Structure 1
Amino acid sequence: MDRLITLHSTLFDGIERSFSALIPLLARLIFAATLLVYFWNSALTKLGDGVFGFLRASSNAYAQIFPRALEAVGYDASQLSLFHWAVVTAGMWAEFLLPLLIVVGLFTRLASLGMIGFVVVQSLTDLYGHGGIAHDGTLGAWFDRAPDSLILDQRAFWVFLLAILVIRGGGALSLDRILSRQILGHATPT
């Protein structure tokens, strides 16, 4: 039995050491393959008209982020406060910039932490702002036989993927690693 445990440890410790930098790279690849276009398409629905649409979000953006506040002012976003504008504009920019930073591996930990916060706010808005909490199945449940609830199941995977990047950084082939070597003159541990 000792030999089996030693063989197991030797084999898998070697695999872990050899491929540890690939885990964050694979996490970034999976993020790009599954969530990048989702978030960018969502951000595109928030852009206002014209060249400066990135500064003046569409009314759709307010409907997505502040549905009850927009309804309270008769769906006239110009009646909302500077606070609403700042949150909607920052949310729109975050949906473009944070996923891009994750994919290229620049400030990966901070971008991933920002995306976790974004997903939490998005989930709370879906549940309480849009009334999803009142509909059976939207929230879902853990430890049940259905692995496809919109909030608890799906977004737990998103947050787990992002948590790997918060903990491990960008990994191999990231701008974080390249800049660390160029600026600091050494390789980062991840």
Structure 2
Amino acid sequence: MTAADATRNPQPAGLRGLWHGLAGRLTRLVPHDALALVNRVAIAAIFFMSGRTKVEGWLTVTDSAYSLFRDEYRLPLVPVEIAANAAAWAEHLFPLLLVLGLFTRLSALALLGMTLVIQVFVYPDAWPTHLSWAGLLLYLVGRGAGTLSLDRLFRIR
């Protein structure tokens, strides 16, 4: 390392220097591609499993799902039938796209919108859970799917 390199990129001394070295190794050990894949699968599982509770067979919305939307969720402005069907489809489609890494940012934005609706209108006291979902989704919106994705294969940002 030359003197010019040292002034541009000085290494901290002592404990701080040790920490910076460890942080650099951790950054290389846990790259964006691994984080993105784990985030995609984790949040997809949450929403997909929720979607499965609303349907029979592949995508036939159950009477209990309609009752849930009518009696517990009580969303304003959206008829029960539309809300239940839209949620069931969204909770199947967007998680599938996330696992594939296809249209990742769009899918994450859609699920983030769902999360906000759930937080504001359905379960406002469940903010710690919804905040963790939002964190996973915002990472994907901001950074994308990573190299282990169809987005990368098809050069979709």
TM-score by length of 1: 0.59
What SS is found at the alignment partner of 1:160?
helix
Aligned residue among 14, 35, 58 for 1:23: 35
Quick one: which of 173, 183, 187 aligns to 2:148?
173
Structure 1 residues 123 and 164, CA, compared in 2 at 3 Å: closer, same or farther? same
Aligned partner of 1:113 in structure 2 is 109
Query: Conserved in 2, the CA contact under 8 Å of 1:98 and 1:114?
Result: yes
Measure, in 1, the Cα distance between the counterparts of 2:154 and 2:94: 18
Name structure 2 gaps, 5 residues minimum.
1-10
CA distance in 2, matches of 1:46, 1:17: 41
Aligned partners of 1:22 and 1:172 also within 8 Å? no
Q: Is the 8 A contact 2:101 2:151 kept in 1?
A: yes
Aligned partner (choices 27, 39, 50) of residue 42 of structure 1: 50
Q: Which residue of 1 aligns with 2:130?
A: 155
CA distance in 1, matches of 2:85, 2:132: 27
Query: In structure 2, what is the equivalent of residue 86 of structure 1?
Result: 82
CA distance in 2, matches of 1:10, 1:175: 34
Corresponding residue for 1:164?
139
Cα distance change on mapping 1:39 and 1:69 into 2, 3 Å = closer
Give the number of aligned pairs: 142
Structure 1 segments (4+ residues) deviating >4 Å? 4-11
RMSD: 3.3
Classify the secondary structure of the residue corresponding to 2:90.
Answer: helix
Paired residue type of 1:20 = H
Bigger helix fraction: 2
C-alpha offsets along residues 139-184 of structure 1, whole Å, 9 cap, x if unaligned? Answer: 2xxxxxxxxxxx122221111111111111111311111111xxx8
Determine the structure 2 residue equivalent to 1:66.
Answer: 70
Which protein has greater RCO, CA pairs closer than 8 Å, 6+ apart? 2
